[in-house]
Structure 1
Amino acid sequence: MPVFTFSGKNASGEKITGERVAANKQVLAAQLRRERVTPGSIREKGKEFSLPMFGSAKVKTKDIAIFFRQFSVMIDAGLPLVQCLEILAANQENPTFQKTLTGVRTTVEGGATLANAMRQYPNIFDDLTTNMMEAGETGGILDIILQRLAQYVEKAVKLRSAVKSALIYPVAIVSIAVLIVGALLKWVVPIFANLFVGLGVDLPLPTRMVIGLSAFVGHFWWFFILGSVALFYGIKQIRKHPKGRYYLDHILLKMPAVGPLLRKIAVARFTRTLGTLITSGVPILEGLAITAKTSGNAVLEEALLKVRKAIEEGRTIVDPLKESGVFPNMVTQMIGVGEATGAMDNMLQKIGDFYEDEVDAATRDMLAMLEPLIIGLLGISVGGIVVSLYLPLFSMIAKLSG
């Protein structure tokens, strides 16, 4: 087995270093934690200076969904847990996911539960996954939990794909329009401007505006690139701050056309996540905390945390949901009925199904509305530039013929 050098801090806060023999980094990290040592850096001896890995180290959500589906079939067939993980790791094409599954298998072999082994990889297995795994292991229904996780991830992938596919066309058209207008202003308009100077003709206002804009683009083209990069970086930095992220999400939810769609996506994700957790036996308070973290919207996250606090104080779930102002009346009423009848998990799943269909319909409607609007704006922009360039020529021809 390989030898690793490590550094970390013990329970007293003192820095310690040393060397250990272990199967891999994950196993050594688990051993150190059992000894109440918080690991800092762990490197394999002799490979401290390794070449960087090129390519994406990210695990796709689709790969995780397939993993859960295959895992559930194997567990249902009666295969031992460690053997399932070994087979799945061996057949995994993504090297990052393969190393993760190998680390999970090794940790499970060392006596840890599957949930705790997965908690070592929070970038791949989130709190929702690990808590559901824990509930499945405790209740002896791991195969059922894996099936639910597979269904949950597959529906989340479908929802995300529907939104992305709806945005591809308008984004592509707008990008092409910007490139065409930029090319006209940068290279075509200056040719006409030099022609007009040589002819000495009087230029109408639209032509002067287009030539002025062309001169600005020609001299300050870098300003648009720098401004775009600065805007992107600024929004990214604002979203890192909790208050900034909250205000940005609040503004997006209030925007016409986009706001209602984002609200429907948020409600679909909330109901699907909480319904899956409750169905799997996760307590509602813990389920609300996990759902808030995975909501993807700061406004919804704050609302769910307030709901959780209200339930801790002994209130029902319906009243704080209504008071938040984030959830539609239909959602709160159906959740109220589910709470009263003891079938909240089924009700949440039905609401999730309904709102996922609503998201599909809303994205189709938005695309149908944006398509003619974008094409019209493209025609006006390009046509306006072309007409403004020919106006002086028309005036000159009219004078010559007169």
Structure 2
Amino acid sequence: MKSLPAVEVSLFCQQAAMILKAGIPLYDGMEVLYESYKDTAYGGAFQKIYEGVRDGGSLYEGVKAAGFFPKYMVHMVHVGETAGELDRVLESLGDYYDRESRMQAAIRSAVAYPMVLVILMTAVIAVLVLKVLPIFTEVFLSLGTGLAGTEGAVLSGSAALGRIVLIAAAVLLLLMLAVFLIWCAGKRQMLLGVGQGLPAVRRLLNQQTAQRFAEVIAMVLNSGYPLEHALELIPDMLPDKRNMKKAQKCRELMEQNGDFAAAVEQAGIFEPLHQKMIRVGVEAGQTDRVMERMAGIYGMEVDEGIHRMVSWIEPALVSVLTLIIGGILLSVMLPLVSIMLSIG
């Protein structure tokens, strides 16, 4: 089943949070939501949510059975129900996916214009290489100069340059299309694995890991559940396999020595300064407070990092297109200048 768009996930979470805060039984609230969605493409899935809540009283089982909610959202609903903080978790998820939907819109906007330019430029280059440059060759032959000498070399060089630019534009277009199709197919782990080779992407994933780790720890501790329970939930909620291993290492170290601050430091989930803050908080008996603070800090860093990446997408693509357009102009103007000189 097609995944629910981030904006719809945000709307669902906000509506469910409002239902709980208003004191309406979850069963009645899900019935209302099902009635509003039953005539849409997601009607069957919302029916599963409604039936899951009706039969078992668990929203987690319902959203899990629906099969179209993000993995992170499903796990956080489980944490919220376990911790008795479902309304607060849903409200937080609503804000999170609202930010994500706006970010996705910004990325689409930043990529759409350059992508259209790439398509148009590829078509223009193909016409120039396959149609226009052969006409220049015929003009040289009709002038009786042949293709020897400087003019012939310029024309041959321009044709070669045009082919190179055409190949570069086609490769760029195919690369952008491949990334888009892989992302839409839900194979984001593959892209994240490739993206980890880029320092900016790797740093962003590390920050997102720290934010989710701290958020879950704080939520579970605030509800009176043991720290070990939170550490069991965290690995499956992280964005990539490398950071999942860090969380698993933290849990193993915690099981061995019972020192949470030392386990966090050795796992390398947080930055050194924040590791010291966590140690101070743990020693002061304020683990939940310090983890709430960490979640807020890293949440802001993730938002800022994504905004920076988005702001670089369009300029980077436009720069590449500028080089391609320059190659087009050279491949056309050089033969034209040579013809004018020959006529002169």
> Residue 271 and residue 64 in structure 1: after superposition, are their counterparts in 2 closer, same or farther (change >3 A)?
farther
Query: Which residue pairs with 2:132 in the alignment?
Result: 192
What residue in structure 2 maps to residue 272 of structure 1? 215
Q: Give the match for residue 80 of structure 2.
A: 132
Matched, 1:106 2:50: no
SS at 1:361's partner residue? Answer: helix
1:202 maps to which residue?
152
Q: In 2 relative to 1, CA 71–278 (structure 1 residues): closer, same or farther, beyond 3 Å?
A: farther
Are 1:62 and 2:62 matched, yes or no? Answer: no
8 Å CA contact retained: 2:10, 2:95: no
Helix, strand or coil for the counterpart of 1:126?
A: helix
Match of 1:348 in 2: 291
Kindly state the Cα deviation for residue 214 of structure 1 after the two structures are TM-superposed.
7.4
Unpaired segments ≥5 residues, structure 2: 141-150
Note the aligned Cα RMSD (angstroms): 3.8
CA distance in 1: counterparts of 2:242 and 2:331, whole angstroms:
47
Aligned counterparts of 1:233 and 1:80: Cα–Cα separation in 2 = 40
1:191 is displaced (CA, Å) by 2.0
- Does the 8 A contact of 1:152 with 1:272 survive in 2? no
In 2 relative to 1, CA 326–180 (structure 1 residues): closer, same or farther, beyond 3 Å?
Answer: farther
Task: Give the equivalent residue in structure 1 for 2:163.
Answer: 212
TM-score by length of 2: 0.77
**Which runs of no fewer than 5 residues in structure 1 stay unpaired?**
1-54, 137-144
Q: What amino acid is the match of 1:133?
A: E
Residue in structure 1 matched with residue 241 of structure 2 by the alignment = 298
CA distance in structure 2 between the partners assigned to 1:238 and 1:385 by the alignment = 36
| Structure that is richer in strand per residue | 1
Q: Check the 8 A contact 2:49/2:65 in 1, yes or no.
A: no
| Alignment correspondent of 2:145 | none
SS in 2 for 1:366: helix
Given residue 164 of structure 1, which amino acid in structure 2 is its aligned partner? Q
CA 1:318 to 1:305, structure 2 compared with 1: closer, same or farther past 3 Å? same
The share of aligned pairs that are identical, in percent, is 18
How many angstroms apart in 1 are the aligned matches of 2:10 and 2:267? 33
Instruction: Work out the CA distance in 1 between the residues paired with 2:328 and 2:74.
Output: 52
User: Which structure shows the bigger proportion of residues in helix conformation?
Assistant: 2
CA distance change for structure 1 residues 342 and 252 in 2, over 3 Å: closer, same or farther?
A: farther
Instruction: Please list, as runs of the form range in 1=range in 2, the aligned pairs for 1:37-52 lying within 5 A after superposition.
Output: none
- How far the C-alpha of 1:122 sits from its partner, in A, is 7.1
Q: Distance in 1 between matches of 2:117 and 2:16?
A: 43
The alpha-carbon deviation at position 82 of structure 1 amounts to 4.2
Question: Are the structure 2 counterparts of residues 369 and 193 from structure 1 closer, same or farther at C-alpha, using a change threshold of 3 Å?
Answer: same
Q: For the Cα contact (< 8 Å) 2:11–2:94, is it kept in 1?
A: no
What is the count of residue pairs matched by the alignment? Answer: 323
* Aligned mate of 1:258, from 195, 201, 211: 201
Match of 2:20 in 1: 72
Greater mean alpha carbon deviation, residues 378-387 or residues 249-258? 249-258
